[in-house]
Amino acid sequence: MRRKIAVFAALMACAVGWGGVASAQQAVDTEKELEKYRQMMSDPMSNPGFLAVDRGEQLWSLKRGTKNVSLETCDLGIGPGKLEGAFAKLPRYFADADKVMDLEQRLAFCMDKIQGLDLADIKKRRFGKPGQTSDMEDLVAFIANKSSGFKIEPQLTHAKEKEAAAVGEALFYRRGDVLDFSCSTCHGEEGKRIRLQGLPDLSKPGKDAQATMGSWPTYRVSQGQLRTFQHRLWDCYRQQRAPEPGYLSDGLTAITVFLMKQAAGGELQVPSIKR
């Protein structure tokens, strides 16, 4: 009887081992096929995200608000109206606002100060959905695309930029809420997966962070929408069962500063396309 039990245990161990090998191989094969799909859809003629780029270009030059002017004099950090390479250096400190801003915060600032635009509707439509576009997502797509091919250059010279990076790192590792999760729970080590998707390790500088941050904004096939990194962070907190973070909040910007620091030197290829 003991011999039979030992033989059975050995056979089960082999079966589990082969199953693990098969699962690992299946994961590799699935990722290869997904990458083929992304490559096929990366061309502007195939990626629906470029429709958002076109809409954003029109919004950039559209006169509106109480002052009936466009956003073309908005300074995104490299001079009024200059777009090429600006996104690669965001978030950054802006002296006129005396704070560190990501692109969406800066656009909201310009809409208010330059155009005199009521931001209530802009914030209400912060994330697009079927039958409803988002001005912010479209503008981010257009502006970010102007930095496609540029290297990520995190701005960390001003004291408030350094502070934001430190706060963002603390938030990245902060556990809490009903699941006791943090950003690092999913993105703090190599080899983790969720469903068919490999999870990048964002806890250290290098290729994972560069590939991740260099691909936002992105067109999400599963949602049929162009999404910004503000949406990505909002959705992460939602999946953690945490309270919804405030749109345009300094906390989300701080996390972005930290992650852009991790991604320094990576190349932007946006808008990308994801599942």
Judged against a pLDDT cut of 80, whether residue 27 lies above it is answered with no
pLDDT tier, 177 (very low <50, low <70, confident <90, very high otherwise):
confident
pLDDT tens digits, 109-160: 999 999 999 999 999 999 999 999 999 999 999 999 999 999 999 999 999 9
Distances (CA, A) of 272 to 38, 139, 162, 187, 217: 8, 15, 29, 20, 7
Question: Does 196 have pLDDT greater than 90?
Answer: no
Q: What is the pLDDT of residue 163?
A: 98
Q: Which amino acid is at 205?
A: P
SS3 assignment, position 8: helix
Where does the pLDDT of residue 43 fall: very low under 50, low under 70, confident under 90, or very high at 90 and above? low
pLDDT (0 to 100) of residue 220? 96
The predicted structure's pLDDT at residue 136: 98
Q: Residue 197: name the closest of 188, 205, 183, 186 by CA.
A: 186
Give, in order, the Cα–Cα distances in Å from 210 to each of 47, 138, 248, 255, 264: 21, 23, 23, 15, 7
What pLDDT does residue 157 have?
Answer: 98
**Cβ–Cβ < 8 Å for 169, 275:** no
Question: Which stretch of 27-36, 196-205, 210-219, 254-263 has the lowest confidence by average pLDDT?
Answer: 27-36
pLDDT in tens, 226-251: 999 999 999 999 999 999 999 999 99
Residue 18 main-chain phi, psi, to 5 deg: -65, -35
Catalytic (active-site) positions: 236
Residue 49: φ, ψ to 5°:
-60, -25
- Of 227, 226, 233, 225, residue with least CA distance to 253: 233
The owner of tokens 């991790």 is 262
The answer to whether the CB of 272 falls within 8 A of the CB of 213 is no
Given pLDDT bands bounded at 50, 70 and 90, which one contains residue 5?
A: very low
Question: What's the CA gap between 127 and 105, in Å, rounded?
Answer: 14
**What is residue 200's DSSP assignment?**
P
